[in-house]
Chain A
């Protein structure tokens, strides 16, 4: 019917990026049917391309050639569960089955609650579950291949033995996936292939009758999933996950898995950087990527342009002071502030100065570019809006303390804090709209979303203010002050604190969702990429956490405290450290 090829993406000539290319052959004789099949394929490819979940392979591309269609997707280095089951000498261990089942419930829940339309996987079975090298599961072979098989065996979709009774009547609901997950777990724990047994006969061979080592708790969960009537099963994948977690807690297996997860992370902390670049002094700022190059400033007074693929130096540009800011890029030019009191504008291509602007203080605030202006603060206590055409200030906004906070621009307003705790909202004419006084310095950059501005202060608080009026909506107390910039995604706001924690706080209710303790202050700012949070700590590590739970995926040790924010792009993390090095790591 089709094949899967392992292929290399030549868009990245300097690194080996593997992808899977799935080929499907369209054998429909009728041209209209053929066309419909291709259209269905493309529609599903489009849906799949929008799914962002760790247990679903990323779709990179698709195309059709004469009677073949191709899907380019993430290459998963691992084995499918069917192979694992048959290669395991005895039964699968309860630990493994439980931990995979929990992850499968997560991804099923994600699919079933997909908006606008729920997605039913319809073909949950061991051969459609891949286990990658870090022991996580990935669902493969989505309904996308189905139209090509239709007509082969009537219209039955799904695999005999794993599918529930109602699927044979042509009904596919989330409860069908739950049944099939129960069947898959049953297969793993008993090694009885349901395709070789009479249909719906799980009730006649309960798990513990074949494998008494399995706990009663887990057996009960599997039995519920395998109920003949859909209404007797778990009502949702989420409910099944809860039951699995409960079972795992009761039997103590979850605690043991926790230990196993820790050991996985031990092994993966042997991460090798893709490349590194050594500066002559500490890297305290953050990198940006622009047009195939990474730009990073250092205390050694330079800003470097590095080839993104291999970290080779394109050029360096020397200022008269340390560069602790994150550069900004706009129309071929790179903008950054320096402690030599200038805002520098340098050609991205040549590394030659285009223009500079002198302030009366060190520039430690990172520039932001919007509406033909560059906005930044200076230790001379002013916030600047400089016109890019005339290279002159459209306005200067006077404050009462150094402005090191990076301005945030939203809806024609500029938000920034100062070192004495003043927080300003300024309109595009440079006039103050409102002002709020925190008890101590607001050094980091604010974040504005849905009419709310979030910022942290050295007074130990994370604030949420109405962006229009400046009224405080809530205040969240951390253990110590913070100069980490908050990051918001999916209703959660993340920030670091000098108490050593990375916090996740619900943006609506100000309730703590989780916190993760590092070994030292967190001055670095968190960044979310896919389902992970990346943040450095003064303990020298870059942490990768699951952003919904705060669980560690991996950490990478540098030889000095990390104070800058990471940059993540195209599955690569770039992070500078005070050990003078900029690292490029696989995300």
Chain B
């Protein structure tokens, strides 16, 4: 009887011996993680995020501003992730650039939190207004607030309101939102409202020329500039599996997409990824304020 079990045991422990001339490559951490994370299941589905900011190496004050907020809104049966992430870059060369960016961020954040508070308090309360309309109103409010608080200044604004699986993005200026997906894909979700980008879109200059163009900081659309503002507002599914990266031009104009992708993929945490991104931008000269926000939806 014992030998019977032994036979089983010995079979189990017998090492696999392959032909001597075949060598195998061990799986990279990335490959292993890709397999492992697929098996984990998180309930409720939730948004996790990291963020980081630096003044850079060449500026004497910080005009970037960021805001992150995430929670799960629980109903009786189901709950949904709710998140709000904002990046704003006060306009250089203007006075009170930091007033503009922080005013815009605070106005937007408080608008949304006020709108969602009744719903968080009572899930049977409904929000009838379309999310894109809320975003439009919030940006209009922010525009007015910036013009009042810091006349003559301006700021970029890129905001992502995430509810369930959808993210509604409001965007003015040249801060960016990217969907980072596996396989090296970095899809820019936003379109820069910059002169140089427009020239590039029109085919007047190449992307390499754009990167070195002397007028690359000139925006044709910014919050706080002019009475009429036409923000870009759209909704798309949250990248899954993947990340949402929001950043100011202090990051994207200094390090390339491939470098960003690899830093995000290799980092062990979102927070670590953001810090490595900031460090990389500073190592590359840090010509401007740098802001990075990284968001992941797990379920």
Contact = CB atoms under 8 A, between A and B. Distances in A.
B165 A468 contact: yes
A353 B61 CA distance: 80
B128 A472 contact: yes
A260 B152 CA distance: 52
A451 B168 contact: no
Contacts of B235: 452, 464, 473-474, 508
A94 to B, nearest CB: 25
Interface stretch (A184-192, A205-213, A233-241): A233-241
Contact of A239 (B80, B132, B203): B203
A235 B204 CA distance: 8
Contact of A508 (B78, B133, B165, B236): B236
16 contacts: A234-B203, A239-B203, A433-B78, A450-B237, A452-B166, A452-B237, A464-B130, A466-B164, A466-B165, A466-B166, A471-B166, A473-B131, A508-B235, A509-B232, A509-B233, A510-B132
Interface of B: 77-78, 80, 127-133, 163-166, 168, 202-203, 232-237
The prevalent SS among residues of B at the interface is: mixed
Given A468-B80, A471-B127, A473-B130, 5 more contacts: A433-B77, A434-B78, A451-B166, A475-B130, A508-B235
The 6 A-B residue pairs with the shortest CB-CB distance in the complex, in nearest-first order: A235-B203, A508-B234, A468-B164, A469-B164, A474-B132, A472-B130
B131 A472 contact: yes
Contacts of A450: 236-237
A450 B235 CA distance: 11
Contact of B133 (A434, A466, A475): A475
Contacts of B163: 466, 469, 471
Interface string A494-516: 00000000000000111000000
Contact of B132 (A467, A469, A473): A473
Interface on chain A toward B: helix, strand, loop, or mixed SS?
A: loop
Range of interface residues on chain A?
20 to 34
B166 A473 contact: yes
Contacts of A452: 166, 235, 237
A450 B154 CA distance: 36
A509 B234 contact: yes
Contacts of A467: 165
Contacts of A475: 130, 133
Contacts of A431: 77
A473 B163 CA distance: 10
Contacts, number: 65
A145 to B, nearest CB: 32
Nearest to B206: A235
A492 to B, nearest CB: 13
A475 B78 CA distance: 24
A235 B233 CA distance: 29
A475 B131 CA distance: 9
B118 to A, nearest CB: 14
Best-surrounded residue of A452, A464, A469, A510 (most CB of chain B within 10 A): A469
Contacts of B130: 464, 472-475, 510
A475 B132 CA distance: 9
B142 to A, nearest CB: 19
Contacts of B78: 433-434, 469
Interface of A: 234-236, 239, 431, 433-434, 450-452, 464, 466-469, 471-475, 508-510
Scoring A234, A464, A472 by chain B CB atoms within 10 A of each residue's CB, the highest score goes to A472
Contact of A472 (B77, B129, B232): B129
Given A451-B165, A466-B166, A468-B165, A474 B131 contact: yes
Contacts of B203: 234-236, 239
Contacts of B164: 451, 466, 468-469, 471
Nearest to B131: A473
B5 to A, nearest CB: 45
A233 B207 CA distance: 17
Contacts of B132: 473-474, 509-510
A220 to B, nearest CB: 16
B186 to A, nearest CB: 15
A442 to B, nearest CB: 15
Contacts of B168: 473
Nearest to A235: B203
A399 B207 CA distance: 56
B80 A469 contact: yes
Nearest to B200: A235
Nearest to B189: A508
A510 B131 CA distance: 12
A313 to B, nearest CB: 47
A473 B131 CA distance: 5
Contacts of B165: 451, 466-468
Contacts of A235: 203
Contacts of A509: 132, 232-234
B155 to A, nearest CB: 22
A454 B12 CA distance: 55
A451 B128 contact: no
A471 B115 CA distance: 13
Contacts of A433: 77-78
Contacts of B133: 474-475
Contacts of B166: 451-452, 466, 471, 473
A172 to B, nearest CB: 19
A450 B237 CA distance: 6
Nearest to A434: B78
Nearest to B45: A468
Nearest to B203: A235
B159 to A, nearest CB: 15
A305 B159 CA distance: 55
Contacts of B127: 471-472
A471 B234 contact: no
Nearest to B79: A469
A229 to B, nearest CB: 14
A86 B24 CA distance: 65
B83 to A, nearest CB: 13
Contact of A471 (B131, B232, B233): B131
A475 B127 CA distance: 13
Nearest to A491: B236
A117 to B, nearest CB: 15
A433 B237 CA distance: 20
A469 B127 CA distance: 11
A236 to B, nearest CB: 6
Contacts of A236: 203
Nearest to A433: B78
Contacts of B128: 472
B12 to A, nearest CB: 39
Contacts of A234: 203
Nearest to B78: A433
B120 to A, nearest CB: 13
Nearest to B235: A473
Contacts of B237: 450-452
A471 B80 CA distance: 10
Nearest to A239: B203
Nearest to B127: A471
Nearest to B73: A469
A453 to B, nearest CB: 11
A508 B235 CA distance: 5
Contacts of A469: 78, 80, 163-164
A178 to B, nearest CB: 11
Nearest to A436: B126
A434 B129 CA distance: 16
B64 to A, nearest CB: 27
A5 B165 CA distance: 53
A467 B235 CA distance: 13
Contacts of B233: 509
